[in-house]
Amino acid sequence: MKKIGVAFLAAAAVLSVPWLAFGQDDELPAEEPALDESAAPEGEEGTTEQAPGEQGDDAGLGGICEIDPDACPKLDFDKEAARDIREQVFAVQQLFVLRRWRFELQPYWQVPLNDQFVGHSGPGLGLNFWITNVLALGVNGNYYEPFNSPSTFNFQTRRSARVSVPLTEYQWNANLNFTYTPIIGKFSGFGDFIFQYDAYVVGGVGAMTVRPIPVIDPDNRGFDWKTNIAFNAGIGLRIFFNRWLAATLEVRDYVFNDKLENTCIAGSPGCPPGDPRDRSTWDGETKLTNNVQAQLGISIFFPFSFEYRLPK
């Protein structure tokens, strides 16, 4: 019986341990007292250890320099500040089209703007060689002969009022020109599409082959072609579709001395005596003539591609 009582007490003690654990209060652990900086050893006041890689903002590139000293070259800033700066800064973007050492072929169609009595429309062709990006030497020519068209206004006036205006028809024209491009730019159109353009001036000297149209005495007179010196000047605009193709619009004035038909018929009342079939009586006054024409065409640059050579 005594052994049974001891066993019973031992079993009761074992079963009572879990109940004591569940009966404790859920209290948070007490906070650790703050570190007193005054208690820090002499020479280490106010310092705390940082984990590797956790350097402060004031460290800068010091960590990199410690790892790789070659990555932080040492400079004498006083000497660097006194050194002359000769850096080249290019604030303008590259040209969309380089023209230097390229050929430009210009087929176009031209119409007259200042002759209301005779139409001189016709095809034309120009060829330029660009010495620089803004200066070119070239030639151009116009062909008029099949397209000369006297207006019906002059014919009706001559028939009804017996008043005639001397007319001239053109055969061909050829010129040697210089072209200068002072303006290069771009504009947007058709949404986000960017068009590049340039504006240019052109001038030169050449030849113009012309002859009067016999309107005063067409029964007896017939004129031959004569070639005169002609000067020209104009302005133009190119709109580029890519780096070798552009649309061109140009207005040019061709100036030359034109020998007109004599308005007086030899032997007629009020005119000097003579034979109306005498060729020496056919020519009238010489007049400075302006042939202003608008030229619409395209520009094709050869070769099609080019390479930029940037300064080093």
Q: Minimal CA–CA distance to 254: which of 140, 90, 99?
A: 140
Distance CA 62, CA 70 (A): 12
- pLDDT tens, the chain, 312 aa long: 555 554 555 555 544 544 444 444 444 444 545 444 444 444 444 444 444 444 444 455 567 777 777 767 677 777 877 877 766 655 556 788 999 999 999 999 999 999 888 889 999 999 999 999 999 999 999 999 999 888 776 666 666 666 677 889 999 999 999 999 999 998 887 777 788 999 999 999 999 999 999 988 888 999 999 999 999 999 999 999 999 999 999 999 999 999 999 988 898 888 899 999 999 999 999 999 999 999 999 999 999 988 877 665
Question: The pTM is what?
Answer: 0.68
Helices (H) and strands (E) in the chain, counts: 4, 10
Task: Calculate the alpha carbon distances from 82 to 3, 76, 79, 298 in Å.
Answer: 104, 10, 5, 55
Domains, the chain: 103-258+289-302 (2.40.160.20)
Paired tokens of 235: 């302005």
Burial of 276 (0-12, 13-18, 19+ CB in 10 A): middle
Q: What are phi and psi of 150, to 5 degrees?
A: -60, 140
